Amino acid sequence: MADEQDKNQAAPRFRLPKFFTQGAEAAAEATLAEVESAPTEGGAPPAVSSVPDTIAKATAIKAAANNGRKGAPVAATAAISEEVTSELQALRDAVDQLTDQVTQVNERETSLERVFDALHAELADYKNDFLYEHLKPVVRPLLFLFDSLEQFDGEVAMAEATMTGATSGEVLSPPVVRENVRFFRDQLIEALRTCEVTIMDAPRGTFNAKFHKAVDIMPVPAAEDGTIVRVVRSGWFLNGQMLRPAEVVVGKFRG
């Protein structure tokens, strides 16, 4: 017995190899093979207590390697899925943002259209008010002029139909007709004045091409050469500026 114990104590202990660059699974298989085939000095087997521990460690290393190899694709798939999910969420956020921007643009355009319509209606009202306020002072005197002409025409018709020749002559006498014509003229001048249109004073004296337009020439004595003989049409000013020059007949000495 003593000799056998001495031999067992003298037998060398099994030591695990170093795994340097080998894979975990290959290292575990190499370790198992080494344990099964490793001889001892003098042909004695390795120590009984160290062999099971070594086998257990090698088995654990192999199982860990297998688990790692199976888990690697799962982890890679999970990482890809997470990345795709993140990109899809980013796309959804971008689409939502674009949708909000399009909605805001549509609302802004709708608001601008309402403002444009309101401004158009307001300008139309201003235009109508402007025309009404500026035409009313002109139209009203013209209406009075129309009333006067209509009244005078009715009086003349009545005189011709019901009165004797003598009475009719009194109604249509030159002084009466002239008085009515002057009344019509004054009403028209007043109506034009509301539009800043004023009549020129009756031209007299020397002809002035700035305010007068010669439409005819009449022989006159030398003292009246270049003077206005007769007014054909009156001149008019618009807001202080020449609207139409007075048309006149100018005297010309032909000595």
Cβ-proximal residues to 225 (8 Å cutoff; 6+ apart), any chain: 251, 252, 253
**Domain tally, the chain:** 1
Give bridge partners of residue 212 from the DSSP assignment. 246
Within-domain flag for 106: no
**In contact, 181 and 138? CB cutoff 8 Å:** no
Q: What is the pLDDT of residue 46?
A: 47
pLDDT digits (tens, 9 = 90+) for 132-155: 777 777 777 777 777 787 787 777
Which tens digit of pLDDT belongs to each residue from 22-62? 454 555 555 555 545 555 444 444 444 455 555 565 566 55
Q: Rounded to an integer, what distance in angstroms lies between the CA atom of residue 224 and that of residue 235?
A: 22
Q: Is residue 95 part of a domain?
A: no
The answer to the question of residue 159 being in a domain is no
55-88 tens-digit pLDDT: 565 566 555 555 555 555 556 677 778 888 888 8
Percent of the residues in the chain that have a pLDDT greater than 90, as a whole number: 20
Neighbours of 22 (CB within 10 A): 13
For the chain, how far is it from start to end, CA to CA, in angstroms?
A: 184
Task: Provide the residue range defining the domain that includes 237.
Answer: 197-255
3-class secondary structure, 87: helix
Whether the per-residue pLDDT at 236 is higher than 70: the answer is yes
Any domain includes 223: yes
49 belongs to a structural domain? no
Residue at 224 is within a domain? yes
Q: What is the pLDDT of residue 145?
A: 77
Mention every residue, 6+ apart, whose C-beta is less than 8 A from residue 162: none
- Residue 204 falls inside a structural domain: yes
Output the domain CATH number for residue 251.
2.30.22.10
207 within some domain: yes
